[in-house]
Homo-oligomer: A and B are copies of this chain.
Amino acid sequence: MNTLAQERRKAEFDVESMKVVWAGSMEQLHLSQRMAHLVANDPVFRKDFRVTQSRPDLFKNTLRKAAHAWKLVQTLRLTEEEATKMRNYIDEPAYTDLHWGMFIPSIKGQGTEVQQQKWLPLAYKQAILGCYAQTELGHGSNVQGLETTATFDPSTDEFIMNTPVLTATKWWPGALGKVATHAVVYARLLTDGKDYGVHAFIVQIRSLEDHQPLPGVIVGDIGVKFGNGGYNTMDNGFLRFNNVRFPRDQMLMRLASVTKEGKYVQSDVPRQLGYGAMVYVRKSIVMDASNYLSRAVTIATRYSAVRRQFGAQGDKPEIQVIDYMTQQSRLFPLLATAYAYRFLGVWMAWLYSDVMARLEKNDFSTLPEVHACTAGLKSITTSTTSDAIEECRKLCGGHGYLCASGLPELYAGYVPACTYEGDNVVLLLQVARFLMKTLSLLGAGKKPAGTAAYLGNVRQLATQNCQVIKGADWLNPTTLQHAFEARSARLAVNCATQIAEASNQEAGFTELSMELVDAARAHCELIVVTRFMEALKRELPGREVKSQLQVLCNIYALSLITARTGDFLVTGYLSHEQIDLAKAKLRDLFRQVRPNAVALVDAFDHSDYYLGSTLGRYDGNVYTNLYNDALKDPMNQSPVTEGYEEFIRPVIKQQLQLSRSKI
């Protein structure tokens, strides 16, 4: 009896069509499959021994993989899109992430045409390898507080870069520690006797001949990070400058420049142009979230179907743990969330193109809203996804704690997404500021737009309570939409009211930060729910594909409502009875998902190689593989352990040298 095969037979929808929906299009699906296959079948990309390697070996192997991947890119003439996908499937943070994902985009975004022509060709062929050096020991969130200095010296037409204090040491940049030859360095620009604040510079840090750090450059790796593999394949580094000189034209001068006389000149390029890149990055983060979450959910779902515990009766086997209501209540909302984030990511891709089109036309009107919404979505999707990975691990019981489950490393490698590209709490506070501002401008008649448009309706939202009277009402999209809008609007208004009562607005904001964070989260969850519902208004081909997604969308919305009942109840929007109806409806929906659960994770189309999980194997053959893999563990190379003669035998034989001297 193959349990997973049985599960697959139960599915009520067309899995192949769902794969297309998940991938975005048939072309995307095929692209993913080709790249996934390429990586999975190449022995250089083996990753199963990742957790038993020492950090130096692990790191060296990552260098090997990167070189091999680069060779494949050239041999197979892969497009940029294919190459990016391939790197994704290699499934290890590596210096190339920073080179392609941060270094090159920084030059594109902040370099002049001339600078781009000089540096990009070198970067594209990887004749130079770059990193993004912003964060310092003393400053991460507060970028304006960076302390590295770049002082212009008109006598030689050069900048002199310095690390004046210990806390100015660059600290964290990936690819910096052992690989990068160049860095985009953020430093305070000092010229003409004045501090012009933080600007970006291209600085060479290692020789292109022998890779030695250049004179005046002190650089290295910052040490081991969370997890065995995880981010330890990356050389997050430190960097100090001791009077390092470089030509003036290595300041990235698209927005501002320094003349050879040392005068600071702002260009007429609007500063807002940078926002486009930020939206793009945040879109990628949300897509990553759905990707990581879908992997964790695949593992937990398949294993929950394979795992049986309790309730054997006569000849009948024990109950599959996926049949326990607690297991479903913990797992299915995460399954729904993976899909929700996918549609959110697709919408953010549209948002990106919309912003870019507007920027072309010097239309900056949507930026505050887009800035806030993408900041918030980065925050909630990464926080939710990290927590969800751990929850999936716990859903696997003891076996989830083994690296063989794939989940510990998935978590350790993912969780810093809560911190980089903006600390998640700091980001939500930015959203909150936007919400307060938006409310305060309502009085002046300013109509909010985009994802904040509902706030224009705040009066109605604050007074009209939920209309649900029977369980089925909870499936009405307008009802759900209204519930999330009312919750968000009411929480925001409650904050605004309390802040208005404070003697000082700023102090009021600070005092209420925690409530503001809750309001910001509510705003962002509304956006996710809305995007999911919107996506389902489109045509979605394939047998019962749309109806399955509809169930997931309802689960997503209702599980948020039941998880955050406080928010909905505090303002009297919902009644006790309505909450109970929501919970009962949710259980109904779980029952509808249940026969489709395994097929719904199959639709993510993750290969066994990519999952890297014995518990999440497609064939469900969990126990044999756990056991066989253990037999191969380095610890089992000999039946008697290393250290027996020195440290175990003397204990058992009462032959320890009993003195105060050390062993």
Contact = CB atoms under 8 A, between A and B. Distances in A.
Interface string A632-656: 0111100111111011111111101
A364 interface: no
A128 B650 CA distance: 12
Given A643-B60, A663-B68, A570 B576 contact: yes
B651 A126 contact: yes
A496 interface: no
B44 A663 contact: yes
Nearest to A513: B325
Contacts of A258: none
A310 B141 contact: yes
A587 B228 contact: no
Contact of A639 (B70, B213, B401): B213
B635 A221 contact: yes
Given A142-B309, A326-B514, 10 more contacts: A68-B663, A167-B623, A210-B640, A219-B639, A221-B633, A223-B402, A224-B402, A394-B418, A565-B566, A572-B576
Interface in A113-154: 125-129, 135, 137-142, 145
5 contacts: A43-B662, A137-B627, A181-B652, A329-B513, A397-B423
Nearest to A95: B648
Nearest to A221: B635
A514 to B, nearest CB: 4
Q: How many of these chains are in the complex?
A: 2
A42 B623 CA distance: 43
Contacts of A419: 394, 397-398, 400-401
Nearest to A515: B583
Interface in A434-478: none
A238 interface: yes
A660 B569 CA distance: 63
Nearest to A177: B635
A179 interface: yes
Interface in A151-187: 166-167, 169, 171-172, 177-179, 181
Nearest to A383: B394
Contacts of A402: 222-225
A391 to B, nearest CB: 11
Interface stretch (A51-59, A339-347, A531-539, A604-612): A51-59
Given A66-B647, A142-B310, A636-B220, A238 B641 contact: no
A25 to B, nearest CB: 29
Contacts of A595: none
A647 B398 contact: no
A74 B636 CA distance: 32
A635 B211 CA distance: 15
B235 A656 contact: no
Nearest to A217: B639
Nearest to A403: B224
A659 interface: yes
Contact of A179 (B624, B648, B663): B648
A59 B211 contact: no
Interface string A416-443: 1011100111000100000000000000
B429 A640 contact: no
A511 interface: yes
A269 interface: no
B640 A398 contact: no
Interface in A37-63: 42-44, 51-56, 59-60, 63
